[in-house]
Amino acid sequence: MLLSAPAKLNLILRILGRRADGYHELQTLFQLLDFGDELRLELRDDNEISVDSGSLEIPLEENLIYRAARLLQRESGCGRGAHIVLQKKLPHGGGIGGGSSDAATTLLGLNHLWQCDLSLSRLAQLGRTLGADVPVFVRGRTAWAEGVGEKLVPVETPPRHYLVVVPDCAVSTAAVFGHPGLTRDSAAITLAHLREGRLDGRWLEQHFGNDCQALVERLYPEIRAAREWLQQFAQAQLTGTGACVFAAFDSATAAKAALAELPERWRGFVAAGVDESPTHRQLAKIAAGA
């Protein structure tokens, strides 16, 4: 079974406060992209979980793919095993959710392969224990999120192509959220606009912003430099806690023209925003026997 694990951007990221358990109350707009990692999932004859992570050097027990597979095995009582091959395309520690998306795709794929028959809600709940960003990938819809990212309302966003620039540094999410200099007192936005499930482009652009950006740019001047470079083409912004920065374009051609001018010290990619995750489209085809 071949499945994608798409990236996300946080088009809006507001930090409303800190909870007693140390986690932060957020409001964020998760935009799914049509670009991501690729996973191949195969049944094993025994009940072991093996993972070939290719270029990603990470101990097996820490790999979110392995942890997701073990969690599903435990929670579903399913006695089967799997071999999973990861083709890593997304930078890790990039704020584009690569590890979380790999975990969600593993849960979705193995739920099908092992015939566990767990609901999306249950899989999202399991995913939440692996990371705050996992539920949105399990649900597979571009969404407005509250709580720590688990209260999700699907929304449609205007069609856009994004140029994502990957500065040469990795940011620790825990370090940013634990930093005394983080702004944690943004007012909540109320979303009358969400009623019809479609976000107006002008409203969206007015509310773009990321409460982590000022601090992250102070800690990592390289990220500020990348954002300022991108700013010459369009409004540019940090995603998540970074390190990636992005800007929206009306066409893939315009985004690719900007990418062609990217200084050599950075990497980048162009991807389209999508309302539905490619993983869910692939699973629907597999379920239909296509």
Dist CA 248 CA 160 (whole Å) = 6
Residues 175-194 that bind ligand SUD (CB under 6 A): 177-178
Dist CA 286 CA 283 (whole Å) = 5
- The binding track of 142-181 with respect to ligand ADP, each residue x by CB under 6 A or -, is -------------------------------x--------
**Exposure letters 206-224 (e unless 16+ CB within 10 A, then b):** ebeebbbbebbbebbeebb
Q: Does 26 bind ligand SUD (CB under 6 A)?
A: yes
Q: What are phi and psi of 37, to 5 degrees?
A: -75, 165
Per the structure block, which two tokens stand in for 128? Answer: 């939440």
93 is in an annotated binding site: yes
Dist CA 81 CA 89 (whole Å) = 25
**Partner from ligand SUD, ligand ADP, none contacting 132, C-beta within 5 to 8 A by type:** ligand SUD
92 is in an annotated binding site: yes
Per the structure block, which two tokens stand in for 208? Answer: 């773009």
Q: Does 109 bind ligand ADP (CB under 6 A)?
A: no
Catalytic residue flag (residue 34): no
Catalytic residue flag (residue 89): no
Q: Does 31 bind ligand SUD (CB under 6 A)?
A: no
Per the structure block, which two tokens stand in for 194? Answer: 């969400």
Residue nearest to ligand ADP (CB): 99
Dist CA 290 CA 286 (whole Å) = 6
Dist CA 4 CA 278 (whole Å) = 6
Q: Does 93 bind ligand ADP (CB under 6 A)?
A: yes
Closest approach, Cβ 97 to ligand ADP, in A, equals 4
Closest approach, Cβ 265 to ligand ADP, in A, equals 20
Q: Does 259 bind ligand ADP (CB under 6 A)?
A: no
Kindly state the DSSP code that residue 90 receives in the 8-state scheme.
S
Q: Does 95 bind ligand ADP (CB under 6 A)?
A: yes
Please identify which residue in the block is written with the tokens 């935009």.
Answer: 31
Q: Does 56 bind ligand ADP (CB under 6 A)?
A: yes
Please identify which residue in the block is written with the tokens 């930090």.
Answer: 15
User: Which of 2, 153, 174, 284: binder of ligand SUD (CB under 6 A)?
Assistant: 174
What's at 41, amino acid-wise?
Answer: L
**Partner from ligand ADP, ligand SUD, none contacting 28, C-beta within 5 to 8 A by type:** ligand SUD
C-alpha 76, offset from chain centre: 25
User: Which of 18, 40, 92, 184: binder of ligand ADP (CB under 6 A)?
Assistant: 92
**Partner from ligand SUD, ligand ADP, none contacting 26, C-beta within 5 to 8 A by type:** ligand SUD
Binding residues for ATP, as ranges, are: 91-101
Active site residues per annotation: 8, 133
